[in-house]
Structure 1
């Protein structure tokens, strides 16, 4: 037995068409929402990785600098620095310029 669409009323065909169109629209909205969530998750993951890496890098630099400062402060300087003899520049002695 074959199904004949001509036996259905127009209102029934419009109702079935509306339901099919609604299912297609709902599927599109669900797919778009899923894609948006996936993109949002990927962006969040990449931002978390980048920020964690940068934060670890900054903490590593700070820890290294702290170790360097503590080591240099514990070093014993044998004596004062000796002044170096500088040759004159002709008739005028060499002048050390300071920040003004």
Structure 2
């Protein structure tokens, strides 16, 4: 049995066409929304990876600097420099400046 579309009324054809157009439009909006969510998620993931990497690098630099300063403050450098007479008077030893 063959379906004859010419037997349908104009109002029915308009209604079916409107439903088909609405379905196509809804599918397009849903696909665009899904793509937007995927792109937003990928952007957020990329931002979090970059931000956490930068924070880890800064934390590592701060930690290494703190260890270096702590190690430098515990080193005794008094044995490295022997007192020498000053060139002008010949009586005062050279002063080693250290931070406290």
What TM-score results when the alignment is normalised by the length of structure 1? 0.79
Q: What corresponds to 1:88 in structure 2? A: none
Equivalenced residue count is 85
Structure 2 residue 95 is the aligned partner of structure 1 residue 57: no
Structure 1 residue 41 displacement after superposition: 0.5
* Inter-CA distance 10–80: structure 2 relative to 1 (3 Å threshold): farther
Query: Distance in 1 between the 2:20 and 2:63 partners?
Result: 64
Aligned partner of 2:96 in structure 1 is none
1:34 and 1:27 map into 2 onto residues whose CA distance is 10
| CA distance in 2 between partners of 1:81 and 1:21 (Å) | 96
Structure 2 unaligned blocks of 5 or more: 88-100
| Moved >2 Å (runs of 4+) | 79-85
2:43 paired residue number: 43
Instruction: State the distance in 1 between where 2:50 and 2:66 align.
Output: 24
Deviations along 1:30-68, one digit per CA (max 9) or x if unpaired, are 000000001000000000000000000000000000000
Structure 2 partner of 1:12: 12
Supply the distance in 2 between the matched residues of 1:21 and 1:13 (Cα, whole angstroms).
Answer: 12
